[in-house]
């Protein structure tokens, strides 16, 4: 006999969540291992290449910033050696790598949704109505979010990630990593260069900040953003992470295979009806089937189940 | 008890995966994949294999596949990392090689591929609304920043109003299918751009907007990473920067003036038609001056080189006569090619030699008296191939024979729109090709210009 408060859907979902936790727990070490060994099988070649591409791009931007800062024209060879060692160093940074990993998955998913469900990766109906808003602040934020989303897709195609798009803590982290690295060597990331980079950084201009701001600005209406078709994937993921109070990267991972239990519980916990949840699943996991009677699982109960997982970040 | 394995080709790479030596057919494939010898292995599958072998220090043997133009090449390769005494590279043995035609991709595949390529190389990307108004625009190309700024200052306006579309008439708005693939001129950029419009939305393409991609015909020359301020701000270079910008509006002035002059757009009083013809003529002069000035810059550059092609000087002369025949008839002069050898082999760059011939014959037409004839002759003369252009004008004063090739030398003629650069440029070109351009007066008749080029035999 199951406990009286437990509805049939719970058993399946609880098992699914444990399963999902186990998979997430291995992301950090596996990713680090795969990137270091260059022999990969667990994650798709494409995603790994994209992560590597983004990390290399970040490293390249730092090296170039130093050259400009110091008006230095190093010889090609030593620059490449320098760059390679910085890339290795950044690759070993689990939080940075998992951030890039989430971005790569989001970018890939954007393309898949566009292809399979005709969901515009840039201009969703919700963004469109926000742009048309009477409130100029909202309208201009929506416009900036649209531009940043277009930029995001373009840089994903090119496996780039501008340092200015990093969340502040990661931005700080890679500057730190660079100055630690160069402190011992002849080339050093000068204080002036660091100051210049820090001065130019503005978290509010990043795509993730713009999306969060839009969600926050919608107040109770933010529930409208919990529809992929209506809001578009970028806004949907931000809304999900804000409503569920977990890291956006975790929201991205929650949209992947083997995390369907987390996604279903998260959506239920923030009050979506079974039919609405099913619609999101239709886009994300067309082949997956949800436990029946999901409506009988209360939002509170769903939150409680999620709390057992306790996970709010990927790494 | 290994049988001797047949080896078709061998190659060697170094520690940086650069191909140092390679036999055919591998060397050819490497070049056609964009590689240099020596240079990083350009065949992607082979590069992957060489890297792997070098890193693991293991002998590898695999079939690789590569695209070679319209063919697919499949080759059996064995990679052997050189461990002792080597520099850390690998040796490659190719055991079998087969090439088969690649199945032609379907139209959809080809279109997808084109979009993927354009997206990868586009230097400006923008998101457009269904009416082609600008929603968001992004570019990191330095020569497009002015355009991006203008577009951002005018959100919602149609993108076509910020660029010039020389291939299309001015009627707006244009259907996206007309704009897709067209050429585009961007104020502030000297490069030529191609437009790609990707319609978004289903089932009606374009119902939710468009993705706009601008692809340049050439990358910007690589700039130094350090944009140091000690570089003196150079004056804008005429040839590279101003010519394309000037050519466009001037060409438009000429085209419109000619339209008016020929009364294509409706009846017009005679004198206005004549004014328009004057405008067109003045525009033509302006255009040729622009061309001359940009040529001047090219031939005066230190690194100016011409291609040492094998050409037929007689053929070049016949073509030049063909091109200028109409102009000569309009002025009542006639062009004659003196009987000569059928073929006069020479070494030079075809278009440069043609340019010289056009300049010489054009001058003769302009300054010879009406009704006279101009004689062009070509001949083999020892180690040189010779072309001469002789007119029946008054000749060139003896004291000016030397200065006729000077820069901006007009020989006292004014008001004819000449730049005084033509002969200067022609002589520079002739000398750059290892020949010369000289002038002499022929007693009893006019001037004779002689172009001399090294013979091809």
- pLDDT tens, residue by residue, A243-263: 999 999 999 999 987 788 999
Domain B309-454 fold is: Heat Shock Protein 90 (3.30.565)
CB distance B225–A146 less than 8 Å? no
> What's the pLDDT score for residue B419?
67
* pLDDT(A135) > 70: yes
Give pLDDT, residue B412. 52
Q: Percentage of chain B with pLDDT > 90? A: 17
Q: Is the pLDDT of residue B34 over 70?
A: yes
> What share of chain B has pLDDT > 70, as a percent?
89
User: Rounded CA gap, A273 and B172, in Å?
Assistant: 48
Taking 50 as the threshold, does the pLDDT of residue B242 lie above it?
yes
pLDDT score recorded for residue B195: 93
Average pLDDT over residues B360-382: 86
How many percent of chain A have pLDDT more than 70? 89
Q: DSSP class of residue A158? A: T
Q: B228, A122: Cβ pair inside 8 Å?
A: no
Confidence of residue A138 (pLDDT cuts 50, 70, 90): very high
Q: Is the pLDDT of residue A183 over 70?
A: no
Is the dihedral angle over the CA atoms B436, B437, B440, B444 positive or is it negative?
positive
Please list every residue in chain B whose beta carbon sits closer than 8 Å to the beta carbon of residue A72: 226
Average pLDDT over residues A178-193: 65
Interface of B with A (CB under 8 A): 55, 119-120, 125-127, 135-138, 155, 200-202, 208-209, 224-228
Cα B434 from Cα B450, distance rounded (Å): 14
| pLDDT tens digits along B53-63 | 888 888 888 88
Q: Which of residues 155-214 of A touch B (CB under 8 A)?
A: 157-158
- Give the best residue of B120, B203, B204, B208 to mutate against chain A (max A CB count within 10 A): B208
* Mean pLDDT value of segment B36-55: 90
- Give yes or no for residue A46 having a pLDDT over 50: yes
Q: Is the pLDDT of residue B303 over 80?
A: no
pLDDT of B415 reads 47
pLDDT at position A70 is 64
What pLDDT score was predicted for residue B36?
A: 87
- Asked, colleague to colleague, whether B9-101 and B309-454 share their fold, the answer is no
CB contact under 8 A, B125 and A150: yes
Mean pLDDT value of segment A287-307: 88
DSSP string spanning B309-330?
A: EEEEHHHHHHHHHHHHHHHHHH
Yes or no, beta carbons of A158 and B155 under 8 Å apart: no
- pTM for the model stands at 0.60
* Alpha carbon of B119: minimum distance to chain A alpha carbons (Å): 8
Contact indicator for B21, B12 with CB cutoff of 8 Å: yes
Q: Which residue bears the tokens 């002759």?
A: B377
Q: Which of B55, B137, B202 sits opposite A118 (nearest CB)?
A: B202
Provide, as residue numbers in chain B, all residues whose Cβ is less than 8 Å from the Cβ of A38.
Answer: 55
* Residue B235 pLDDT level (bands cut at 50, 70, 90): low
Q: Which of A50-64, A135-149, B68-82, B166-180 has the lowest mean pLDDT?
A: B166-180
Whole-number pLDDT of residue A27: 83
**Burial readout A39-52 (b: 16 or more C-beta within 10 A, e: otherwise):** ebeebeeebbebbb
Instruction: Using DSSP, state whether A243 is helix, strand or coil.
Output: helix
Across the interface, whether the CB atoms of B127 and A123 are under 8 A apart is answered yes
Confidence of residue B222 (pLDDT cuts 50, 70, 90): low
Whole-angstrom distance, CA of residue A156 vs CA of residue A105: 10
Phi/psi at B238 (5° precision): -60, -50
Q: Do B135 and A143 touch (CB under 8 A)?
A: yes
| A187 vs B191, residue with greater confidence | B191
Return all residues near B2 (Cβ < 8 A) that are at least 6 apart: none
Given CB atoms, is A143 within the 8 Å cutoff of chain B? yes
**Contacts made by residues B173-179, CB under 8 angstroms, sequence distance 24+:** B173/B131, B173/B132, B176/B132, B176/B206, B176/B210
Q: Over chain B, what is the mean pLDDT? A: 82
Residues B115-124 have a mean pLDDT of 90
In this predicted structure, what is the pLDDT of residue A2? 46
* Mean pLDDT value of segment B402-421: 67
- Name the residue of chain B whose CA is nearest to A64's CA: B225
pLDDT above 60 for B230 = no
Q: Is the pLDDT of residue B292 over 80?
A: no
Mean pLDDT along residues B362-376: 85
Contact A147/B138, CB-based, under 8 Å? yes
How far apart are the C-alpha atoms of B328 and B315, rounded to whole Å?
Answer: 19
In angstroms, the Cα distances linking B441 to B367, B370, B444 are: 14, 19, 9
Q: Which two tokens stand for residue A234?
A: 């970028």
Q: Do A146 and B127 touch (CB under 8 A)?
A: yes
The dihedral of CA A274, A279, A284, A289: what is its sign? positive
Cβ contact, residue pair A150, B138, below 8 Å:
yes
Predicted confidence at residue A140, as pLDDT, reads: 92
Nearest to A154 among B138, B202, B228 (CB): B138
pLDDT at B86: 66
Q: How far is A272 from chain B (nearest CA, A)?
A: 28
pLDDT of res. B223: 54
List the single residue in B120, B209, B228 with the smallest CB-CB distance to A71.
B228
Element (H, E) at A267: helix A260-269
Yes or no, beta carbons of B136 and A73 under 8 Å apart: no
Q: Coil, strand or helix: which one is A307?
A: helix
Structure-model confidence comparison of residues A51 and B381, the more confident one: A51
| pLDDT confidence bin for A41, thresholds 50/70/90 | very low
Max mean pLDDT among A203-212, B31-40, B295-304, B360-369 falls in A203-212
**pLDDT, position B224:** 42
Which residue in B has a C-alpha nearest to residue A162's C-alpha?
B140
In the predicted structure, residue A276 carries a pLDDT above the cut 90: yes
CATH fold of the domain at B107-216: Beta-Lactamase (3.30.450)
* Contact call for B120 and A158, based on CB within 8 A: yes
Q: Which residue of A has its CA nearest to B203?
A: A118
Query: Which among A54-58, A253-257, B135-139, B190-194 has the top mean pLDDT?
Result: A54-58
User: Which of A126-130, A141-145, B111-115 comes out lowest in average pLDDT?
Assistant: B111-115
Q: Where are the domains of chain B?
A: 9-101, 107-216, 238-300, 309-454
Phi, psi at B7, each rounded to 5°: -115, 120
CATH superfamily of this structure's domain B9-101:
PAS domain (3.30.450.20)
Whole-number pLDDT of residue B270: 82
> Does the beta-carbon distance from B225 to A150 stay under 8 Å?
no
Residue B22 forms beta bridges with which residues? Answer: B11
Q: Which of A293-307, B112-126, B225-239 has the lowest mean pLDDT?
A: B225-239
> What's the pLDDT band for A180 if we cut at 50, 70, 90?
confident
Which CA distances in Å does A193 have to A65, A161, B354?
A: 7, 19, 55
> Is residue B84 within 8 Å of B104, Cβ to Cβ?
no
Write out the two tokens for B446: 């006019």
Tell me which chain A residue has its CA closest to the CA of residue B137: A147
């Amino acid at each position: 006999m199951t406990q009286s408060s437990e509805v049939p859907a719970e058993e399946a979902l609880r098992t699914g969540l444990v399963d999902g936790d186990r998979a997430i727990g291995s992301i950090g070490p596996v990713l680090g291992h795969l990137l270091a060994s260059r022999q990969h099988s667990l994650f798709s070649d494409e995603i790994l290449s994209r992560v590597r591409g983004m990390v290399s791009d970040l490293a390249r931007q730092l090296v170039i910033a130093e050259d400009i800062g110091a008006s230095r024209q190093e010889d090609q060879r030593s620059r490449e050696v320098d760059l390679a060692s910085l890339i290795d160093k950044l690759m070993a940074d689990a939080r940075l790598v998992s951030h890039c990993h989430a971005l790569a998955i989001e970018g890939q998913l954007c393309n898949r949704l566009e292809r399979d469900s005709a969901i515009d990766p840039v201009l969703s109906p919700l963004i469109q109505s926000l742009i048309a808003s009477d409130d100029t602040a909202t309208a201009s934020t929506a416009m900036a979010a649209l531009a940043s989303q277009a930029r995001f897709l373009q840089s994903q195609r090119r496996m780039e990630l501008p340092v200015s798009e990093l969340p502040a803590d990661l931005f700080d982290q890679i500057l730190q990593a660079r100055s630690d690295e160069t402190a011992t060597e002849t080339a050093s990331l000068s204080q002036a260069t660091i100051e210049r980079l820090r001065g130019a950084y503005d978290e509010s201009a990043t795509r993730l900040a713009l999306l969060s701001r839009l969600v926050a600005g919608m107040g109770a209406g933010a529930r409208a953003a919990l529809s992929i078709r209506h809001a578009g994937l970028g806004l949907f993921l931000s809304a999900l992470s804000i409503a569920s109070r977990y890291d956006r990267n975790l929201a991205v991972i929650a949209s992947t295979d083997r995390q369907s239990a987390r996604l279903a519980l998260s959506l239920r916990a923030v009050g979506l009806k079974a039919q609405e949840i099913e619609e999101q699943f239709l886009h994300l996991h067309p082949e997956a089937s949800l436990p029946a009677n999901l409506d009988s699982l209360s939002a509170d109960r769903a939150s409680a189940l999620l709390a057992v997982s306790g996970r709010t970040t990927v790494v | 008890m290994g049988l001797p394995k047949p080896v078709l080709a061998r190659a060697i790479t170094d520690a940086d995966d650069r191909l140092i030596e390679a036999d055919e057919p591998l060397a050819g494939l490497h070049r056609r994949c964009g590689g240099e010898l020596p240079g990083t292995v350009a065949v992607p599958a082979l590069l992957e294999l060489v890297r792997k072998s070098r890193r693991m220090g293991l002998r590898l043997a695999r079939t690789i596949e590569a695209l070679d133009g319209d063919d697919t090449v499949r080759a059996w390769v064995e990679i052997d990392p050189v461990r002792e005494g080597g520099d850390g590279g690998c040796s490659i043995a190719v055991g079998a090689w087969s090439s088969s035609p690649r199945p032609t991709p379907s139209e959809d595949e080809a279109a997808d591929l084109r979009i993927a390529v354009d997206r990868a190389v586009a230097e400006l990307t923008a998101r457009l609304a269904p009416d082609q108004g600008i929603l968001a625009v992004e570019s990191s190309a330095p020569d497009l920043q002015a355009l991006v700024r203008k577009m951002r200052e005018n959100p919602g306006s149609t993108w076509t109003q910020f660029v010039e579309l020389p291939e299309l008439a001015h009627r707006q708005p244009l259907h996206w299918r007309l704009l897709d693939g067209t050429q585009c001129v961007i104020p502030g950029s000297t490069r030529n751009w191609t437009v790609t419009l990707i319609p978004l939305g289903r089932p009606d393409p374009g119902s939710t907007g468009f993705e706009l991609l601008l692809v340049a015909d050439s990358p910007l020359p690589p700039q130094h990473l350090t944009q140091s301020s000690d570089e003196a701000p150079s004056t804008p270079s005429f040839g590279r920067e101003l010519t394309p910008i000037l050519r466009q509006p001037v060409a438009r002035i000429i085209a419109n003036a000619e339209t008016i002059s020929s009364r294509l757009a409706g009846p017009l009083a005679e004198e206005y038609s004549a004014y328009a013809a004057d405008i067109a003529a003045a525009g033509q002069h302006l255009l040729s001056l622009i061309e001359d000035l940009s040529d001047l810059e090219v031939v005066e550059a230190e690194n100016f080189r011409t291609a040492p092609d094998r050409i037929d000087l007689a053929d070049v002369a016949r073509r030049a006569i063909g091109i200028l025949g109409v102009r000569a008839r309009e002025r009542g002069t006639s062009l004659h090619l003196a009987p000569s050898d059928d073929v006069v082999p020479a070494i030079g760059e075809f278009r440069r030699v043609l340019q010289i011939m056009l300049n010489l014959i054009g001058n003769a037409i302009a300054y010879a008296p009406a009704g006279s004839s101009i004689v062009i002759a070509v001949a083999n003369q020892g180690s040189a191939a010779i072309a001469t252009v002789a007119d029946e004008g008054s000749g060139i004063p003896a004291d000016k024979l030397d200065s006729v090739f000077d820069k901006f030398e007009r020989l006292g003629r004014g008001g004819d729109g000449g730049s005084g650069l033509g002969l200067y440029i022609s002589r520079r070109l002739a000398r750059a090709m290892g020949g010369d351009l000289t002038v002499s007066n022929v007693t009893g008749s006019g001037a004779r210009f002689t172009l001399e080029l090294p013979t091809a035999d």
